[in-house]
Amino acid sequence: MKIINVGLLGYGMAGQVFHAPIINCVSGFNIKSIRTTNPFWRKQALERYPKVAIVDHSDMIIKDPKIDLIIVVTPNEFHYPLAKKALLAGKNVVVDKPFTVTSAEALDLIRLAKSKNLFLSVYQNRRFVSDFLAVKKIIHSQRLGKIVEVTMNFDRFRNSFNGNWREDLVPGSGILYDLGSHLIDQAIVFFGLPEFITADLRNQRGGKANDYFEVKLDYPGLKVNLRSSMLVKIPGPVFKLNGINGTFEKFGLDVQEGDLTAGLTPKSKSNWGQEPIEHSGKLSLLVNQQDVTETIVSPPGDYRIYYQNVYDALVKNEALLVDPRDAMYTIKIIEIALESANKKCTLPMEITV
């Protein structure tokens, strides 16, 4: 088996939870180097990956001739410059979501990767979670008939601040970039690009960056509502789909993040990604003038699918599951949403590339 040597630029929460343990569970990958200057994270990385080199500077990874793939897992404002530097050095690149701060930066990276015949993708891991897969299953079944309204919620309850850069006034901070990039990507996968965008952004806790958003995506005959807040103590449904024939409702976020945060991995836990049965979705239909209600058990989520596809794309030239152009469109929608919220108006989805 061909071995792909990997270097991680960053080892904060994203690197520790969403990338390193998953990469380490996919055959063919070898984590060779991790860049971090935080003493606590350095210690943890050495304990978990004793054969990995822990370095202080990104250039020590970017310039390493033995590194085949670089994962950019830094604060958002550094995604573009580090990914560009890696591509210019001839490295294949995965960038954590959100892709970049601006769509112009995203397009520049896409063109650069293409010109140098290098691999470029964006880690949209929430395409590989139970709730998303359950909704995908329902949409493909067409049992709801014509879908007229969809609501996607990604809520948390954090009524204090933790000093994280995402809560500061820096490029790419705030909940719209952080969690909005997930919901927008899911909408693009399900329904494509919208015609119009209307957004409401708020700072409900009195901090520096936005911590609430409601983004409405208008499609012909379909309204998609995307919502996220840091002040939801009693969670509502994560997905609700209304169609001509009935409604599908799904509660409960995917279990993988919690398990990975607790130090579990697909190697150490059986039934990886299988959510509790009580989180199963409910499908309510009107069939021949009779009410029919069904429990829809979700497929197991598995972040490994993303990195298995990365390996297969690099080694076997297989098609990408996450095209960077989708990630660029996600950033474009974020830009339009920010403008819509500022101007308090509805704006068209304009594609200029």
* Residue where one domain finishes, among candidates 123, 153, 187: 123
> Do 28 and 315 form a contact (C-beta atoms < 8 A)?
yes
Q: Within this chain, do residues 151 and 49 fall inside the same structural domain, yes or no?
A: no
pLDDT at 85: 98
Estimate to the nearest angstrom the gap between the alpha carbon of 146 and the chain centroid. 27
| 175, part of any domain | yes
Q: Within this chain, do residues 13 and 143 fall inside the same structural domain, yes or no?
A: no
Q: Within this chain, do residues 118 and 130 fall inside the same structural domain, yes or no?
A: no
pLDDT at 191: 97
Q: Binning pLDDT at 50, 70 and 90, where does residue 11 land?
A: very high
Q: Within this chain, do residues 226 and 294 fall inside the same structural domain, yes or no?
A: yes
* Residue where one domain finishes, among candidates 75, 98, 123: 123
Q: Within this chain, do residues 118 and 133 fall inside the same structural domain, yes or no?
A: no
Above 90 in pLDDT, residue 168? Answer: no
CA separation for the pair 202, 315 (Å, rounded): 45
Domain tally for the chain? Answer: 2
Reply yes or no: is the peptide bond before residue 98 cis, omega within 30 of 0: yes
Q: Within this chain, do residues 187 and 119 fall inside the same structural domain, yes or no?
A: no
Q: Binning pLDDT at 50, 70 and 90, where does residue 162 land?
A: confident
Q: Within this chain, do residues 102 and 138 fall inside the same structural domain, yes or no?
A: no
**pTM value?**
0.95
pLDDT at 228: 97
Above 90 in pLDDT, residue 256? Answer: yes
Above 70 in pLDDT, residue 353? Answer: no
Q: Binning pLDDT at 50, 70 and 90, where does residue 337 land?
A: very high
| 21, part of any domain | yes
Q: Which domain holds residue 291?
A: 126-302+333-348
CB count within 10 Å of CB 60 equals 14
Give the tens place of pLDDT for each residue, 47-57. 999 999 999 99
- Average model confidence (pLDDT) across the chain: 96
Q: Within this chain, do residues 60 and 105 fall inside the same structural domain, yes or no?
A: yes
Above 70 in pLDDT, residue 352? Answer: no
Give the tens place of pLDDT for each residue, 196-253. 999 999 999 998 898 999 999 999 999 999 999 999 999 999 999 999 999 999 999 9
Q: Within this chain, do residues 150 and 80 fall inside the same structural domain, yes or no?
A: no
Q: Within this chain, do residues 130 and 208 fall inside the same structural domain, yes or no?
A: yes
DSSP 118: -
- The strand order across the sheet containing 69-72 reads 53-55, 29-35, 4-9, 69-72, 92-96, 120-123
CATH number of the domain residue 80 falls in: 3.40.50.720
